[in-house]
Amino acid sequence: MSMSPPKRISGRDNPEFKRFLAVRARKNRDLILVEGPKLLGEAIRSDLAVEAVAFDDHVLTVSEELAAWATARKWIQFSGSLMKSLSDVETHQGVIALVERPRFNDDWLRRKDAFVLVLDRLQDPGNVGTLFRTAEAAGVSGVLLTRGGADPLSPKALRASAGSAFRLPHLLDLSIDDLLAALPRRITLAATVAAPGACSLFGDRPLPFPLALALGSEGSGLDPRIEEAASHRVRIPSARPVESLNVAAAGAISMFEIARRAGILRG
C-alpha cells in the first residue's frame, strides 16, 4: 500500500528532528526510539502510544498493517542523511518512531507462581535483549535489572528481544539493596555460579516456586551480596572444561530447564 509523502525535512535545526535526536541521546526518558516496520508493529500490538513516525526519502510503502494504522496519523519525512544519523545500524530500515516507554508495576513479583529473572550488571544490550526474548518464551513473569546494566529498551536490546521488552514486566536501575528488598521473603533465590561446589542445575534438588533466577555478568559474575542471599547456588555442568558460557546461552539453558521441571512449557 502506498501513501503520499508529507513535506520533506532535511535540516538538522528542524524542531521535529531535534525531538527525535533528544530521545536518541536519552535526554527524554519518557520516550524510546523504535526502528523498523517489524518492531513498530510489535509496539502497536503491545498497545504502546506512538508519538511520531518518520521515514526517509525512499520508504513510501510499508506493511499493510502499518499502512492501515498510519492512514489517519501524521508521518514525518526525513532526508536519508537525517535518518542515518538517528539510526543505530549501518543500513537503516527507513522507519523510526517515537514510542512511549512502557511502565510496569510490581504486582507480578507477588504471584504465588512467580518466575523472576534477575540480571545483575549485564552491560551488553544484545545479551539483555536475547535474555528478554528467551524469558518471555520460557514463561518468566518479569525481570529485575540492577544498576549499571544495559537498558532493555535501547535500540540494540530491542532488536535482540524482537519486542519482548515491550511486554515482559521489568524494573530497571535497582541498587543491590533495592533488588533484595523487592524480592518477597517467600521467594526462592537461585544464583547461577561457575563454582564447582554449586549444585548441578540438572540435579535432583528441587527449585520451588515462586523462584528468582539470578544471572551475573560474564566478567565479574554476580554481586557477592546476591550470591550470599541465595538459598540455592546452581551451575550448568559441561562435557569439557571451558572458560564460561555466554550469559545469554547460560540463561536460556537455565530458564528452560526450570520451566521444564515446573511443567509450564507447552507442547
Same domain (yes/no): 127, 67: no
Residue 238, pLDDT above cutoff 70: yes
Instruction: Using pLDDT thresholds of 50, 70 and 90, give the confidence band for residue 56.
Output: confident
pLDDT value, residue 57: 59
CATH number of residue 38's parent domain: 3.30.1330.30
Residue 13, pLDDT above cutoff 90: yes
Establish if 205 belongs to a structural domain.
yes
Establish if 39 belongs to a structural domain.
yes
Q: What is the mean pLDDT of residues 9-18?
A: 92
Alpha helices in 90-144, H assignment, sequence order: 125-138
Cβ–Cβ < 8 Å for 192, 214: yes
Same domain (yes/no): 139, 229: yes
Q: What is the mean pLDDT of residues 214-241?
A: 91
Establish if 1 belongs to a structural domain.
no
Q: Which three cell numbers stand for residue 61?
A: 510503502
Establish if 267 belongs to a structural domain.
no
Q: Which three cell numbers stand for residue 35?
A: 526502528
Q: Which three cell numbers stand for residue 187?
A: 521467594
Establish if 3 belongs to a structural domain.
no
Establish if 19 belongs to a structural domain.
yes
Q: What is the mean pLDDT of residues 36-41?
A: 89
Same domain (yes/no): 147, 78: no
Report which of residues 207 and 254 the model is more confident about: 254
Where is average pLDDT lowest: 9-23, 79-93, 183-197, 216-230?
Answer: 79-93
Global confidence as pTM: 0.91
Instruction: Using pLDDT thresholds of 50, 70 and 90, give the confidence band for residue 59.
Output: low
Same domain (yes/no): 207, 116: yes
Give the CA distances from residue 148 to residues 21, 43, 196, 233, in Å, rounded to whole numbers and listed in that order: 23, 26, 28, 23
Same domain (yes/no): 75, 128: no
pLDDT value, residue 64: 60
Same domain (yes/no): 119, 230: yes
Same domain (yes/no): 95, 115: no
Residue 9, pLDDT above cutoff 50: yes
Domain end marker among 36, 68, 100? 100
Q: What is the pLDDT of residues 145-169, one digit of tens each?
A: 999 999 999 999 999 999 999 999 9
Establish if 29 belongs to a structural domain.
yes
pLDDT value, residue 260: 94
Buried b (16+ CB within 10 A) or exposed e, 105-135: eeebbeeeebbbbbbbbbebbebbbbbbbbb
Sign of the Cα pseudo-torsion (60, 63, 69, 71, in order): positive
Residue 1, pLDDT above cutoff 50: no
Same domain (yes/no): 132, 192: yes
Whole-number average pLDDT of the chain: 89
Same domain (yes/no): 186, 70: no
d(CA 266, CA 258): 14
Residue 68's domain comprises 8-100
CATH number of residue 226's parent domain: 3.40.1280.10
For the chain, give the percent of residues with pLDDT over 90. 66
Residue 48, pLDDT above cutoff 50: yes
Q: Facing residues of 53 across strands?
A: 75, 97
Q: What is the pLDDT of residues 66-125, one digit of tens each?
A: 555 555 466 788 888 899 899 888 777 788 999 999 999 999 999 999 999 999 999 999
Same domain (yes/no): 92, 161: no
Q: Which three cell numbers stand for residue 125?
A: 544490550
Domain end marker among 73, 100, 127? 100
Number of domain units in the chain: 2
Establish if 2 belongs to a structural domain.
no
Number of Cβ within 10 Å of residue 220's Cβ equals: 9
Same domain (yes/no): 163, 222: yes
Domain end marker among 100, 123, 156? 100
Number of Cβ within 10 Å of residue 221's Cβ equals: 20
d(CA 111, CA 198): 28
Same domain (yes/no): 223, 252: yes
For the chain, give the percent of residues with pLDDT over 70. 90
